[in-house]
Amino acid sequence: MLRQRYVLVGSVGVGKTSLFNALNNDYSLAVKTQAVAFDEQGGVDTPGEFFNYPRLFGALISTTIEADTIIYVHAADDPLCRLPNGLLEIYRNKQIITVITKIDLPSVDVPAIKQMLMEHGLKEPIFEICTQDSDSVQVLADFLKQDEISKRKKQ
C-alpha cells in the first residue's frame, strides 16, 4: 500500500479539493464532495465537515493519523483561524504546512491573514495559492517533491 504523504485539512469551501486536483494536474472546477479521496502520490483530500463539526473530529483524527505531513488550507477571505482547539498539539509530531488559497479574490489582505494564522501558532512554510493558477500550485508541488526526496534519504 502507498504511504500517506500529506493530508489536506480545513473548513468546508476553502479550496482543498481544488488544490488536491491541481496537485494532480486537474484544473477543472472542483465538485463539492464529502468523500475522503486518495491519489497515486500518497495525497489525501478530506471533507471540510471533518474539520468543522466537533462530532466528526474522530474521523479527522483517524484520517490523518498515518500522515506525516498535514496541509492546513485556509481561504484568504476568511479573517478567522478555523483550527480546532488543541489540534496543533495533537499534530505536534507531524509536519504542518499552511496554504492560503483564494489569493486572487479582490480586496483580500494576504499578509494580514498570514500574520493572523501565525498568531494562532502556524509557522512557515506558508504558501499563497490561487488553485486555478498552476504557477502558484507548482511552488507547493515542488516543495512536497523536495520534502519527499529528503525524507527518503533519511530512511
Ligand X SMILES: Nc1nc2c(ncn2[C@@H]2O[C@H](COP(=O)(O)OP(=O)(O)O)[C@@H](O)[C@H]2O)c(=O)[nH]1
Q: Does a cis peptide bond (omega within 30 degrees of 0) precede residue 125?
A: yes
Q: Which residue number is nearest to ligand X in terms of Cβ? A: 15
Shortest Å, Cβ 91 to ligand X: 19
131 binds, among Mg ion, ligand X, none (CB under 5 to 8 A by kind): ligand X
Q: Interface mask (CB under 5 A) for Mg ion, residues 6-45, using x and -?
A: ----------xx----------------------------
- Closer residue to ligand X, CB minimum distance, 141 or 151: 141
Print the SS3 string covering the chain: CCCCCEEEECCCCCCHHHHHHHHCCCCCCCCCCCCCEECCCCEEECCCHHHHCHHHHHHHHHHHCCCCEEEEEEECCCCCCCCCCCHHHHCCCCEEEEEEECCCCCCCCHHHHHHHHHHCCCCCCEEECCCCCHHHHHHHHHHHHHHHHHHHHHC
Q: Interface mask (CB under 6 A) for ligand X, residues 75-114, using x and -?
A: --------------------------xx-xx---------
102 binds, among Mg ion, ligand X, none (CB under 5 to 8 A by kind): ligand X
Q: Interface mask (CB under 6 A) for ligand X, residues 26-65, using x and -?
A: ---xx-x---------------x-----------------
Which residues are at the interface with Mg ion (CB under 5 A)?
Answer: 16-17
